[in-house]
Amino acid sequence: MHWQWGNKPLKTFTDADKAFRTAMYAPFFNWLTNNIDVFALHKKSLGYIWA
């Protein structure tokens, strides 16, 4: 489903930006799902509370 952007013409910068964000979101979400502890430690080191 997230690969549908690859079949559409990118006529504007907004279209290209949306395609790029979509392409980057899926791999990051997969990484985050597998490494939530690493992400939580990173947020904690910045002073954020990750519940």
Residue 3 confidence (pLDDT): 56
Please give the residue that has the higher pLDDT: either 26 or 38. Answer: 38
Tokens standing for 38? Answer: 């690493």
- Of the chain, the percentage scoring pLDDT greater than 70 comes to 84
Per-residue pLDDT of 1-21, as tens digits, reads 455 556 778 899 998 898 888
Full-model pTM: 0.49
Tokens standing for 50? Answer: 């990750």
Cα distance between residue 25 and residue 21, in whole Å: 6
Residue 51 confidence (pLDDT): 58
